């Protein structure tokens, strides 16, 4: 009975609204909101972050068409300089942006930025470069990291080589002699890919680094230079090149070709990202393997989490996606997948259990 009365009343209001007879006759349907979002990218000149940035922009447009809101994105290029980027972020805060998405040059220096954002009540979504736990604890519910666990990418790189018939030991002497080309110092992805790729391969076969691990800072030209020097110094002894990313690996492939060596015959190369150029090389058997650093899902989740924050929700400190091992082009296909949320306690327990960290 009550329900019926309620239905009749609700029905009346709906009818009255649709006829425009109640209240104002102007707008029956609420107009969409407009949100101002500041996006700080560590550096535009980066193949992977270009894919990520473009997809973020495309997806916000799609979301806007679907929900009727306007998301105005202002992108800034941090030019790989934290001082420049801090200024850009402070400007965003001074302009009163509704939300920040930050791919920090140096995530270890994030605390001051989070605190400034907090005092202006502007939530922050961190992407790509994993911050310290303590950073995410500063303003819980309003600061979050959307990313992938770099350890997993290192493990997959090690497995790609370990699973080859000769486990990377081309000359059959029982030891894999490798070159490691690294991203920038202090970067979680660089450190963990380096550590976990070699630890994983060591479970199958002994390894030895030819020379010191070298930093190509994610850059193709530097990757080429490092690989060319190693190829001329170590010649046939060099059996595997591990690169912390595909950008530097593309440079290494140029060096390999220049030295007259043949990938997958007398040398192996493994990267991370699954850049389209690398997937093409895989198709032509000119690359050994890579690991999809899923910019598609990371950017979509970052946008969705941003919208939760814009509508006042509190969110989890971590939103994770998975890396995917890529041995063939079809492994790198992009489809929308679910994210996993994690609290700080869950994150710490997982690391403790899996790696004793
Ligand atoms: C990617 C690299 C990229 C770096 C930028 C890494 O996750 O694999 O390609 O240069 O992020 O921070």
HSE-CB of 9 using CA atoms within 13 angstroms = 6
State which ligand 1 atom lies nearest to the alpha carbon of 272: 8
pLDDT at 247: 98
Judgement on whether residues 58 and 192 belong to the same structural domain of the protein = no
Judgement on whether residues 158 and 285 belong to the same structural domain of the protein = yes
Judgement on whether residues 165 and 268 belong to the same structural domain of the protein = yes
343 located within any domain: yes
Cα separations (Å) of 355 from 126, 152, 209, 319, 348?
24, 11, 23, 20, 10
Instruction: Report the domain count for the chain.
Output: 2
Q: Nearest 5°: phi and psi at 275?
A: -65, 150
pLDDT at 1: 37
Ligand 1 geometric centre to CA of 143 (Å): 21
Judgement on whether residues 93 and 223 belong to the same structural domain of the protein = no
Judgement on whether residues 141 and 16 belong to the same structural domain of the protein = yes
pLDDT in tens, 151-170: 999 999 999 999 999 999 99
Find out whether the beta carbon of 268 lies less than 6 Å from any atom of ligand 1.
Answer: no
Q: Round the average pLDDT of the chain to a whole number and report it.
A: 92
Q: Is the pLDDT of residue 26 over 80?
A: no
Judgement on whether residues 172 and 266 belong to the same structural domain of the protein = yes
Would you place residue 27 in the very low, low, confident or very high pLDDT band (cuts 50, 70, 90)?
very low
Q: What is the CATH number of the domain that holds 39?
A: 3.40.50.2300
Ligand 1 geometric centre to CA of 235 (Å): 29
Judgement on whether residues 155 and 259 belong to the same structural domain of the protein = yes
Mutate to test the pocket of ligand 1, among 79, 108, 183 (most ligand atoms within 8 A of CB): 183
pLDDT in tens, 196-246: 999 999 999 999 999 999 999 999 999 999 999 999 999 999 999 999 999
pLDDT at 5: 42
Judgement on whether residues 28 and 104 belong to the same structural domain of the protein = yes
Would you place residue 6 in the very low, low, confident or very high pLDDT band (cuts 50, 70, 90)?
very low
| Secondary structure class of 120 (helix, strand, coil) | coil
Judgement on whether residues 35 and 160 belong to the same structural domain of the protein = no
328 located within any domain: no
pTM of the model: 0.90
Find out whether the beta carbon of 48 lies less than 6 Å from any atom of ligand 1.
Answer: yes
Q: Which domain holds residue 126?
A: 5-148+294-322+334-355
pLDDT in tens, 276-295: 999 999 999 999 999 999 99
pLDDT at 25: 37
pLDDT at 264: 98
Give the E-state strand segments of 103-159 in sequence order.
124-127, 143-148
pLDDT at 227: 98
Identify the residue whose C-alpha is closest to ligand 1 atom 3: 48
Judgement on whether residues 214 and 155 belong to the same structural domain of the protein = yes
CA 204 to chain CA centroid, nearest Å: 29
327 located within any domain: no
Find out whether the beta carbon of 293 lies less than 6 Å from any atom of ligand 1.
Answer: yes
pLDDT at 16: 39
């Amino acid at each position: 009975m009550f329900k019926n009365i309620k239905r009749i009343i609700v029905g009346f209001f709906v009818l009255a609204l649709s006829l425009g007879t109640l209240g104002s006759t102007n707008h029956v349907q609420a107009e969409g909101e407009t949100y101002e979002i500041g996006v700080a990218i560590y550096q535009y000149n980066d193949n992977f972050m270009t894919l990520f940035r473009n997809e973020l922009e495309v997806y916000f447009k799609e979301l806007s068409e679907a929900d009727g809101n306007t998301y105005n994105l202002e992108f800034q290029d941090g030019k790989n300089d934290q001082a420049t980027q801090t200024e850009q972020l402070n400007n965003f805060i001074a302009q009163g942006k509704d939300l920040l998405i930050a791919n920090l040059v140096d995530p270890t220096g994030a605390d001051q930025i989070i605190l400034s954002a907090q005092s202006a009540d502007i939530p922050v979504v961190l992407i790509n470069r994993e911050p310290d736990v303590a950073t995410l604890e500063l303003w819980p519910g309003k600061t979050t990291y959307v990313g992938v666990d770099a350890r997993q990418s290192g493990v997959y790189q090690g497995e790609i080589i370990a699973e080859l018939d000769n486990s990377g030991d081309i000359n059959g002497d029982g030891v894999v002699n490798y070159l490691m080309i690294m991203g920038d110092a202090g970067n979680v992805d660089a450190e963990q890919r380096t550590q976990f790729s070699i630890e994983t391969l060591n479970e199958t076969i002994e390894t030895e680094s030819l020379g010191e691990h070298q930093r190509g800072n994610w850059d193709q030209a530097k990757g080429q230079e490092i690989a060319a020097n190693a190829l001329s110094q170590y010649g046939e002894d060099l059996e595997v090149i591990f690169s912390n990313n595909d950008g530097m690996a593309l440079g290494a492939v140029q060096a390999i070709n220049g030295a007259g060596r043949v990938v997958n015959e007398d040398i192996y190369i493994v990267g991370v990202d699954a850049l389209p150029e690398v997937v093409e090389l895989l198709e032509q058997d000119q690359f050994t393997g890579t690991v999809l650093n899923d910019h598609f899902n990371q950017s979509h989740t970052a946008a969705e989490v941003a919208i939760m924050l814009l509508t006042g929700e509190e969110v989890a400190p971590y939103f994770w996606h998975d890396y995917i091992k890529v041995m063939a082009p079809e492994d790198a296909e992009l489809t929308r997948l679910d994210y996993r949320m994690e609290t700080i306690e869950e994150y710490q327990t997982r690391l403790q259990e899996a790696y004793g960290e």
